[in-house]
């Protein structure tokens, strides 16, 4: 059998960054290269029902073994894409064997990585400091594929098992075309958290916002009383948001406004935000705040120069998961059996599972051994990934015993 490390090193060499600006699904063609590779690998492992859709979703099903036909089907999901915050092209992974606890220099980048001290003695996969690693979520893919191979090769008893790999999760569109009836699971898990002991079942409510400003451009020597500088109006818009309610100044369940992009000229400018909050009421207030600033600036300008387009992305899965404790209790038991002490921090982000919960598929998120996502300091813990494989096998075993 292939090790989880071998698989991971193969997968991270695929550049699979998504791009919210293309308007396509999947948003980038390069995600399909990994999707095709995984579909072929699943078929080679002997799964009888593997599908790759035109939207870039990979689905696979493993029928139950004799005696477990009445057990509920369980699904495992990971996403194909990586964040566009840092380059994912030409990833050069390096394995630091039996890390001695000292800082790790990442190539000639000048970046020095200081992994969690508790991982001393573990094998760590790092970057050369010029790209992200892709552990988010190729660690999850490697964990799922390794577990599937062990189930098949060792002929382990199991109920129905469903596998899915989704595109565009990083841009909030991973579940947009997910076919829940085709998938066919009663419960599922996204393998998309960090440390292997994490179980996540509450997350941010999330939206994106695009602020567009229309200005009036003219030669600066003759601008008096005529020019309306869209860039300055955009800067003023951002200044009217609460200065402390940004990602770098919030933690736990505290929400924020995050400016993810800005561009423009004196004639036109654009600001892009993501809006996050665990509390549904405060989340709605955040969206209203953007509209209030728009109205305030338009009144001052005497014209409709500022527009705001808000798009809801996902909601807090806690609303659904509180009615479905079984999958959380099951993974907790599987973690303890695998020698992992479970923790349940609130997600300061989201997963495909957040949307799937509201599509009729209760879907908590569990860890895969990856750290520092979306950065050049991203790294993966090999022993953590191996533990995650054991956790998935424990989940499958427990589902197989349910009648």
**Residue 107: pLDDT above 80?**
yes
Whole-number mean pLDDT of the chain? 96
Average pLDDT over residues 50-61: 97
| Marked catalytic residue, from 15, 41, 149, 169 | 169
CA proximity to 164, closest of 44, 71, 72, 61: 61
| pLDDT exceeds cutoff 90 at 31 | yes
* CB-based contacts of 14, cutoff 8 Å, min separation 6: 30, 33, 34, 37, 134, 138
pLDDT value of position 403 = 77
Where does the pLDDT of residue 351 fall: very low under 50, low under 70, confident under 90, or very high at 90 and above?
A: confident
- State the CATH class of domain 205-313: alpha beta
The per-residue pLDDT for range 233-281, each reduced to its tens digit, is 999 999 999 999 999 999 999 999 999 999 999 999 999 999 999 999 9
For 110-168, how does the pLDDT look when each residue is reduced to its tens digit (9 = 90+)? 999 999 999 999 999 999 999 999 999 999 999 999 999 999 999 999 999 999 999 99
How far apart are alpha carbons 122 and 150 in whole angstroms? 23
Q: What percent of the chain has pLDDT over 70?
A: 100
Q: What CATH fold (topology level) applies to the domain 4-203+316-400? A: Aminopeptidase (3.40.630)
Q: How confident is the model at residue 198 (pLDDT cuts 50, 70, 90)?
A: very high
Note if 81 is an active site residue: yes
Confidence at residue 314, expressed as pLDDT on a 0 to 100 scale: 87
Residue 308's SS3 state is: strand
How far apart are alpha carbons 357 and 346 in whole angstroms?
16
User: What is residue 359's predicted lDDT score, i.e. its pLDDT?
Assistant: 96
Measured CA to CA, the distance from residue 311 to residue 398 in angstroms comes to 39
Question: Strands 74-79 and 161-166: what pairing?
Answer: parallel
Averaged pLDDT, 40-59 = 96
Ranges for all domains in the chain classified under CATH 3.30.70.360: 205-313
Catalytic residue among 15, 81, 198, 381: 81
Q: What is the pLDDT of residue 1?
A: 84
190 has a pLDDT exceeding 80? yes
Can 137 be counted among the known catalytic residues?
no
Residues of the chain with CATH 3.40.630.10: 4-203+316-400
Per the rule left: phi > 0, alpha: psi between -120 and 50, beta: everything else, 373 is beta
Its sign, for the CA torsion 186, 397, 320, 198, is negative
With 90 as the cut, is the pLDDT of residue 349 above it?
no
Q: Are strands 205-214 and 306-314 parallel, antiparallel or unpaired?
A: antiparallel
Looking at residue 172, its pLDDT comes to: 85
């Amino acid at each position: 059998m292939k090790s989880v490390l071998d698989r991971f090193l193969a997968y991270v060499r695929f550049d699979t960054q998504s791009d919210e600006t293309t308007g396509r699904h999947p948003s980038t063609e390069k995600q399909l290269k990994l999707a095709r590779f995984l579909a072929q690998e699943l078929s080679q492992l002997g799964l009888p029902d593997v599908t790759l859709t035109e939207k870039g979703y990979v689905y696979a099903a493993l029928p139950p073994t004799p005696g477990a036909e009445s057990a509920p089907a369980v699904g495992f999901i990971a996403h194909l894409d990586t964040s566009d915050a840092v380059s994912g092209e030409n990833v050069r992974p390096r394995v630091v064997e039996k890390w001695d606890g000292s800082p790790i220099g990442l190539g000639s980048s000048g970046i020095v990585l200081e992994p969690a001290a508790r991982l001393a003695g573990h094998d760590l996969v790092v970057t050369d400091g010029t790209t992200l690693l892709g552990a988010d979520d190729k660690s999850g893919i490697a964990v799922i594929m390794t577990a599937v191979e062990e189930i098949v090769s060792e002929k382990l008893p199991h109920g129905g098992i469903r596998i899915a790999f989704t595109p565009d999760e990083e841009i909030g569109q991973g579940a947009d075309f997910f076919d829940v009836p085709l998938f066919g699971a009663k419960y599922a898990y996204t393998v998309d958290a960090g440390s292997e002991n994490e179980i996540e079942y509450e997350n941010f409510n999330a939206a994106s916002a695009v602020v567009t400003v229309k200005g009036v451009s003219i030669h600066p020597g003759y601008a008096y009383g005529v020019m309306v500088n869209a860039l300055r109006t955009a800067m003023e818009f951002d200044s009217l948001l609460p200065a402390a309610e940004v990602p770098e100044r919030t933690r736990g369940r505290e929400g924020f406004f995050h400016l993810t992009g800005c561009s423009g000229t004196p004639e036109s400018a654009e600001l892009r935000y993501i809006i996050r909050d665990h509390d549904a009421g405060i989340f709605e207030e955040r969206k209203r705040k953007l509209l209030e600033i728009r109205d305030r600036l338009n009144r001052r300008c005497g014209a409709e120069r500022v527009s705001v387009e808000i798009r809801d992305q996902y909601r807090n899965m806690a609303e659904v998961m509180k009615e479905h404790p079984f999958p959380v209790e099951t993974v907790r038991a599987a973690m303890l059996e695998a020698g992992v002490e479970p923790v349940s921090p609130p997600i300061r982000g989201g997963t495909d599972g957040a949307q799937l919960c509201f599509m009729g598929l209760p879907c908590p998120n569990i860890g895969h051994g990856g750290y520092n996502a979306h950065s050049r300091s991203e790294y993966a813990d090999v022993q953590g990934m191996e533990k995650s494989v054991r956790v998935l096998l424990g989940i499958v075993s427990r589902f197989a015993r349910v009648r």
